[in-house]
Chains A and B, each alone.
Chain A
Amino acid sequence: MNEGFQWSEHGSNLIEATGQTLYMVSATLLIGGVLGLALGMGLYTTRRGGLLQQRWVFGFLNLLVNIFRPIPFLILLFAVAPLTVGIVGTRLGSTAMIVPMSVAATFGVSRIVEQNLVAIDPGVIEAARATGATRWRIITTLLVPEALGPLILGYTFICIAVVDMSALAGTLDGGGLGAFALDYGYKRWNFGVVWVTVIVIIVLVQLAQALGNRLSRKVMHRN
């Protein structure tokens, strides 16, 4: 049973599992990234002193995020299953896993976005207002570019959390590297497979972090 990682036996499964992981992670980053950006901008603009200061709206959004964020991902996975079935038609498989992962990512990303927007120098917003720019123009054309460097780093941070989520999702019939390590490694007591999976995940994470660092440096124009 414990014969280690054999390319002939495990290779095609590893490649397929890596593909599924990349699929889940990139779809989640796209959906959760966009929704989280919108929610984060909502939090930032409606907070006290914000461009669209709205106490009740902020209170509602803040509460919503605070309710969802502390739910452990494993429980969220079950909890949103009816929603998953409603959207995807099934609660199994990589595509279905994108729903709970996107929900979790949305709330995580929203806080990252809020934090990085809060860090924008208020003087810059004031300067934009002084030119006569509408609040809508400032929100749509200035906020994200001004915070882009740190936002990219924040997204990179979330990306790694999403890889983590995907592994957990995989163990619940989601496929991907988590399922691969569980089925071919742990269940058969084959730690060669487990370690190869870990290495693949480390490489993916390293690549994501390197890309994030590079992009954020590029957009910050510091020389």
Chain B
Amino acid sequence: MSHIIEFRDVTKVFSGRAGTVTAVDHVDLSVEEGEIFAVIGYSGAGKSTLVRLINGLERVTSGALIVDGEDVVRMSESQLERKRRDIGMIFQQFNLFRSRTVAGNVAFPLKVAGWPRDKRDARVAELLDFVGLLDRAHSYPEQLSGGQKQRVGIARALAAGPKILLADESTSALDPETTQDVLRLLKKVNRELGVTVVVITHELEIVRALADRVAILESGRVVESGTVFETFSKPASEVGRRFVSTVLHDQPRGDDLARIRQAHPGRIVTATIHDGSRLGAVLAGAGAHGVTFEIVYGGIGTLQARSFGSLTLELTGPAPAVDRVVADLRGVTEIEEVA
């Protein structure tokens, strides 16, 4: 696989009346051709800016940004306009043209790319069929539901046959069920059309459902990146752990921790769970050492078709025996003491 997008020490600084803000701070990142790459971060982390650097809607302040073999940093505005035809984009608020029908919205990029009318009509029909909206071709955006609007957005973004699709919080304005529809459609775009997809989100659920690899962005910096499984089964950063805790009760914190401490006087440890960790066997043997256990907290889910999660256990019994059981647990998985 080759890099279709490569950030090399990219920085974006906004300067305004109130001073300067570094929205993207020395980012190195690469997206492989044909993958779904997610950038996750809280609002204000700089992810919307990061994605807009790729198609030049925002200009890089320093560094190099290679998109499909060309450095967009060096391009003029008119060169960028040409380049953008190969990069589709969808938005949180859909941003459809209200004055144009569904078909007119999808036809817009084709007009921009100079397609003749007959080819354009055929292409619009093909795309509307792909997103399942052929019967709404003559409707106006205001007559559609949110999910339908985003499907039009996707059809418009794909119209001119781009190699890359940028999705900026594309499901954040949708209800959970519609979100699943749109995610399925994005997956279909990636698998069937081979389009490289870059997804910007603040929800781990989206990354989990969609992405192959992920970068975590905080204050304009990439704090972690890797495959989704590696990154979220063993998050190395505090932000990564916080994201994991939004989908899994991986480790008790705050009020939960205080409540558990109060109710459970024994030794409390958190065990990481993944496929093949033989926790059960060790715990089954704990009784022989005079140690009893209680599961007090935790959650197990799947990431990229592999289990991950953690269970927090209270171990009660004579201290040396508990030490022995903890040592055995360490033999099968990672164990963290809960303070």
A203 to B78 alpha-carbon distance, docked (Å):
52
- CB–CB B142/A221 < 8 A: yes
Stretch of B90-98, B289-297, B299-307 on the interface side: B90-98
A11 to B26 alpha-carbon distance, docked (Å):
81
Is there a chain B Cβ closer than 8 Å to A131's Cβ? yes
A131 to B112 alpha-carbon distance, docked (Å):
7
Minimum CB–CB distance for B15 against chain A, Å = 13
- CB–CB B96/A127 < 8 A: yes
Chain A residues within 8 Å of chain B by Cβ, number? 23
Contact of B109 among A132, A134, A142 (CB under 8 A): A132
Stretch of A2-10, A12-20, A105-113, A118-126 on the interface side: A118-126
A123 to B100 alpha-carbon distance, docked (Å):
15
- CB–CB A146/B143 < 8 A: no
Known A131-B112, A137-B112; contact A145-B100, beta-carbon cutoff 8 A: yes
Smallest CB gap from B82: residue in A: A132
Smallest CB gap from A142: residue in B: B97
Is there a chain B Cβ closer than 8 Å to A201's Cβ? no
Minimum CB–CB distance for A141 against chain B, Å = 8
Is there a chain A Cβ closer than 8 Å to B84's Cβ? yes
Is there a chain A Cβ closer than 8 Å to B113's Cβ? yes
- CB–CB A145/B156 < 8 A: no
- CB–CB B98/A146 < 8 A: yes
Chain A positions 122 through 156: 1 when the CB is less than 8 Å from some CB of chain B, otherwise 0: 01101111111111010000100110100000000
A148 to B97 alpha-carbon distance, docked (Å):
12
Determine the chain A residues whose CB is within 8 A of the CB of B157 once the complex forms: 130
Is there a chain B Cβ closer than 8 Å to A222's Cβ? yes
A219 to B108 alpha-carbon distance, docked (Å):
19
A142 to B153 alpha-carbon distance, docked (Å):
17
A129 to B96 alpha-carbon distance, docked (Å):
12
Known A131-B108, A132-B81; contact A145-B57, beta-carbon cutoff 8 A: no
Known A127-B95, A134-B78; contact A221-B140, beta-carbon cutoff 8 A: yes
Smallest CB gap from A223: residue in B: B143
Known A121-B95, A124-B95; contact A130-B100, beta-carbon cutoff 8 A: no
A114 to B222 alpha-carbon distance, docked (Å):
41
A137 to B78 alpha-carbon distance, docked (Å):
12
Is there a chain A Cβ closer than 8 Å to B83's Cβ? yes
Is there a chain A Cβ closer than 8 Å to B59's Cβ? no
Minimum CB–CB distance for B148 against chain A, Å = 15
- CB–CB B143/A145 < 8 A: no
- CB–CB A221/B98 < 8 A: yes
Smallest CB gap from A122: residue in B: B95
A75 to B248 alpha-carbon distance, docked (Å):
74
Contact of B85 among A124, A132, A220 (CB under 8 A): A132
Determine the chain B residues whose CB is within 8 A of the CB of A123 once the complex forms: 91, 93, 95
- CB–CB A146/B81 < 8 A: no
Determine the chain A residues whose CB is within 8 A of the CB of B159 once the complex forms: 131
- 18 more A-B residue pairs beyond the given contacts A142-B99, A221-B143, with a C-beta to C-beta distance below 8 A: A121-B95, A124-B98, A127-B95, A127-B153, A130-B57, A130-B89, A131-B160, A132-B83, A132-B84, A132-B109, A133-B109, A134-B112, A137-B112, A145-B97, A219-B99, A222-B142, A223-B142, A223-B143
Mark B residues whose CB is within 8 Å of A. Answer: 55, 57, 77-78, 81-85, 87-89, 91, 93, 95-100, 108-109, 112-113, 140, 142-143, 153, 156-157, 159-160, 166
User: Can you list the 9 inter-chain pairs with the closest CB atoms, starting with the nearest?
Assistant: A145-B99, A221-B140, A132-B84, A127-B95, A131-B109, A132-B85, A123-B95, A130-B89, A133-B112
